[in-house]
Amino acid sequence: MTTVLFTGGGTGGHLMPALAIADEMVRLDPSVTPFFVGSRRGLEASVLPQRPWRYELLPLEPIWRRRWWKNAGLPFALVRSLVRLRAILRAERPGLVVGSGGYVAGPVVWEAMNRGVPAVLLEANAFPGIATRWLARRARQVHLGFPEARSRIEVGPGTIVVDSGNPIPPPPFPPPPMPDAKRKLGFAGDRPLVFVTGGSQGALAINRAVADAVASGAFPAGVSLLWQCGEASLAQFSPLGEPGRIAVRPFIDPVADAYAAADLVVARAGGTVASLAAWGLPAILIPLPTAAAGHQLSNAQALAHAGAAVLLEQRDLTGATLGGAISTLLHDPARMAGLKAEMLKRARPEAATTIASEALKVMWKTPG
């Protein structure tokens, strides 16, 4: 058995791709034993206990850019984490380290590489994160979710860069008929449906704009709305629901039901975009303006420039602008078809398999 160290987290956009690759790597090579290293404060603290893989959570902290005074404890947390990390590396003797980004990945991958462990990096965004930019020169492979990221990293002479896409659960094949998917969610099968999501926790700015659009009549008549608002906002926005037309949900699981039913999606521009591409869904993207290094804006700009999505910045977001953008798209079938076609060009439903198989080549030193 050979241990593969996976590290990255803080958010689902960093953790879930790593889990998908671990699952696929074990499927391809049952001798692989994944071991995850995460942060006590990240999403991994609640997700990893539900998974079969061994893990350890370190007291690593993010770098606070705006509330800079909170960084005072960073050196102490880093020292404590490195002491424990070195013990993990001695005990596990991993054959490979896979870093999926976030504030956890940087120090863990760096320390593993210093001990001779080959590294594979995942970069989900069009604008690479600090960890990727810092580590890429010494990594064996860098896998990109957006090809635009290639010009923004400097790699070493032995580094292979792969436009692999971001790992996600692939859509079912064949996909369910759209009318059936709509009826399953309680909507009319012959009416256009807009799926609004700000992620698993919702996005207050998007929720407020949707509420304004519905209340003012800016949301187009004759269009169904599936609105994932987040648990914390459910009480505030659920009164706007209308049976058969507007469904306000805290969280939709499985989200594949929503993707199968949607004609148009309104979303942030983080990890969701990989699923939108795989499903070929036209989208209005509203990037989170406070995302690290503006990576969500970079993602949305890349897709908008390619004709794969419509960019609506949060500073311009109102009920009227959102309702107008939705109405304009739904009344332009040619534009919708173009968005769908360009999104599908970005689809990489096989990303987890590609990354897992290429990473195994690094570990076993088989020829590429």
| Chain position carrying tokens 């990727």 | 132
Q: Per mean pLDDT, which range of 20-29, 56-65, 161-170, 313-322 is the poorest? A: 56-65
Flag whether pLDDT at 368 surpasses 50: no
pTM: 0.78
pLDDT at residue 205, rounded to an integer: 96
| One domain, residues 120 and 161 | yes
Ramachandran region of residue 91, left (φ > 0), alpha (ψ -120 to 50) or beta? alpha
pLDDT at residue 14, rounded to an integer: 79
pLDDT at residue 74, rounded to an integer: 61
The number of folded domains in the chain is 2
Flag whether pLDDT at 263 surpasses 50: yes
Q: Per mean pLDDT, which range of 126-140, 178-192, 215-229 is the poorest? A: 126-140
pLDDT at residue 348, rounded to an integer: 87
The percent helix, strand, coil of the chain (3-state, each to 5) is 45, 15, 35
d(CA 92, CA 59): 20
| One domain, residues 289 and 334 | yes
Instruction: Kindly report the backbone phi and psi dihedral angles of residue 339, in degrees, each rounded to the nearest multiple of 5, phi listed first.
Output: -60, -45
| One domain, residues 103 and 205 | no
Q: What is the pLDDT of residues 326-336, one digit of tens each?
A: 999 999 999 99
| One domain, residues 339 and 354 | no
Q: How crowded is residue 182: how many other Cβ atoms within 10 Å of its Cβ?
A: 24
Q: What is the pLDDT of residues 337-346, one digit of tens each?
A: 999 999 999 8
pLDDT at residue 62, rounded to an integer: 60
| One domain, residues 163 and 219 | no
Token reading at 211? 């509420």
Average pLDDT over residues 234-261: 92
Average pLDDT over residues 100-120: 92
Helix (H, G, I), strand (E, B) or coil at 330: helix
| One domain, residues 131 and 235 | no
| One domain, residues 327 and 197 | yes
What are the b/e assignments for 34-68, b being 16+ CB within 10 Å?
Answer: bbbbbbebbbbeebbeeeebebebbebbbeeeeee
Contact 263, 340 (CB under 8 A): no
Cβ neighbors of 226 (< 8 A, separation 6 or more) are 185, 187, 193, 194, 195, 196, 247, 249, 252, 258, 261, 262
CATH code for position 128: 3.40.50.2000
Flag whether pLDDT at 17 surpasses 60: yes
d(CA 327, CA 362): 49
d(CA 122, CA 144): 6
- Note down the domain range covering 264: 178-345
pLDDT at residue 72, rounded to an integer: 52
Q: What is the pLDDT of residues 273-317, one digit of tens each?
A: 989 999 999 999 999 998 777 889 999 999 999 999 999 999 999
Flag whether pLDDT at 130 surpasses 90: no
Q: What is the pLDDT of residues 32-75, one digit of tens each?
A: 999 999 888 777 888 899 899 999 998 776 655 555 555 555 66
pLDDT at residue 367, rounded to an integer: 44
| One domain, residues 158 and 35 | yes
| One domain, residues 140 and 31 | yes
Flag whether pLDDT at 366 surpasses 60: no
First to last CA, the chain: 23
Token reading at 216? 């003012």
d(CA 9, CA 103): 7
Written as one letter, the residue type at 50 is Q
Q: Per mean pLDDT, which range of 79-83, 193-197, 210-214, 240-244 is the poorest? A: 79-83
Query: How crowded is the C-beta side of 239, counted as CA atoms within 13 Å?
Result: 4
| One domain, residues 164 and 277 | no
Contact 284, 322 (CB under 8 A): yes
Contact 362, 160 (CB under 8 A): no
Average pLDDT over residues 252-270: 93
| One domain, residues 156 and 230 | no
The helix or strand, by DSSP H or E, that contains position 119, with its residue range, turns out to be: strand 119-123
| One domain, residues 8 and 153 | yes
State the pLDDT confidence band at 251, using cuts at 50, 70 and 90: confident
